Amino acid sequence: MKPERIVVFAPNWLGDAVMALPALADLRRHFGDAHLAIAARPAVSPMFAMVQGVDALVTLPGGGGWRSISGWQADAAALRPGAFDVAVLLPNSFATALIASKAGISERWGFATDWRGRLLTRAIAKPKGLTHQSAYYQALTSALGIDAGPAYAEIRPSAERTRELMVDIGLDPDDRFVVFAPGAAYGRAKQWLPERFAELAELLINDRGWSVVMVGSNADRKTCAEIEARMPSTGTRLNRLIDVSGRTDLQMLAGLLARAQAVVTNDSGAMHLAGAVGARVIALFGATNEHRTSPLRSSAVAPMPAIVTHEVFCRPCMLRECPIDHRCMRGISARAVYELLPA
C-alpha cells in the first residue's frame, strides 16, 4: 500500500538542498498521488517554495547541528500536525531519525548512518564509490525501489519579486549585468581572490559597459567591500559595481541569478542556486572537488556550467584555510574567466 502523506527531511545547507532536488523529483514521480511535504531549516525552506511538486513546507525551528540536541522536541512538535505516514531522511544525522520517531511518523526511511539504524524502519546501507552528491541522494531513493530520473535541479523564482529587486537597486529590465558570488561559507580556501574579482569587474565595466552585481549573505559583506575598495570610481548608470550582499532573501537572489548574463561564483550555495534557475554559471574551484559538488543544470536545454580550476599538486585538499600560498586560486586569472563569459 502506497503512503498518502510523505515528508522529506531536507539537507541543512543550501547547496546540498539543491543537489537533493533530483531525488525529490524521483519521489514526486513515484508517489504521484501522495501529499508531499518538505521539512527544512529556516535557512533553506524558502527555496522549496520555488520547486514544483511540493505540496507543503514544514519549517523546523529547533536548529541543525549541535542545536538539535536541545531542539528536537520543537521540531517533532512542528511535524505532528502533518500526520505523516512516511519520512524520507536525506540528512545522515541521528537527530533527524529521532525527530521523525518522536513526531509519531510510523515509517522512517534513510541511510543507516550515525548510529541511527534502530530508529529507521527501512535502513539502507550507505553507498560507496559515488562521485556527485546528487547521486548520493538518488542512491537512497533508488534503494527504496524508486526509478532514478535525470540529475536536473529546477527552481522557478518569482518574476514579480525579481522585478521589485531590480527596481530597488536601480537596474532596468533590459540592463545587462553579471552576478558575482565571491563568498563561501565553508572557508576562505574556496574563495577566488578579491583582487581577481575586482580585475574582472573592471573588464566587464570598461570593455562591455555591463554592470556587476555582488551577492552574498551578511557574512560575505566584508569580502564584497574589499572588492569594491579595489575598484576605481565609476560614475555612469550602467558603468558600476552594485553590492546587494546581505540584502536579498532566497527568492530574490534566485530571480536575480536567473536574469543575469552569467554568474561568476565560488563553490557555494549561490553557485548551486544559479545552476538550478538556468543561469550560465562560471564556477571557480580550488580546495574542493568539482567532481563531487559541481552545479547541476535546471534542464537539458540549460547552459552547461563552465568549471574553472588551476591544477596544482595539493588540490582538492578540502581544507577551510590554505596552509601555504593559495596557489590553486591564485593561478586563475581574471582574463581567463572573462573569456568564458557570453558575448
CA 20, chain centre distance (Å): 10
DSSP β-bridge partners for residue 88: 8, 109
pLDDT in tens, 275-333: 999 999 999 999 999 999 999 999 999 999 999 999 999 999 999 999 999 999 999 99
- pLDDT for 82 beyond 90: yes
Half-sphere exposure of 5 (CA within 13 A, CB side): 13
pTM over 0.85: yes
Give the pLDDT mean for 215-233. 90
Cβ pair 211, 218 in contact under 8 A: no
Domain with residues 5-143, CATH architecture? 3-Layer(aba) Sandwich (3.40)
Least Cα distance to 272 among 151, 169, 160 occurs for: 151
Q: How far apart are CA 178 and CA 211, in angstroms?
A: 7
Q: Where are the domains of the chain?
A: 5-143, 159-338
Amino acid in position 304: M
Q: How far apart are CA 250 and CA 50, in angstroms?
A: 10
Establish whether domains 5-143 and 159-338 are of one fold.
yes
Mean residue pLDDT of the chain comes to: 93
Tell me which fold the domain 159-338 belongs to: Rossmann fold (3.40.50)
Residue written as cell 565560488? 266
Least confident range of 215-229, 236-250, 267-281: 236-250
Radius of gyration of the chain (CA): 21
- pLDDT for 236 beyond 50: no
At CA 113, angle to CA 111 and CA 115, rounded to 5? 130
* C-alpha cell read off for 201: 569587474
Q: How far apart are CA 329 and CA 342, in angstroms?
A: 22
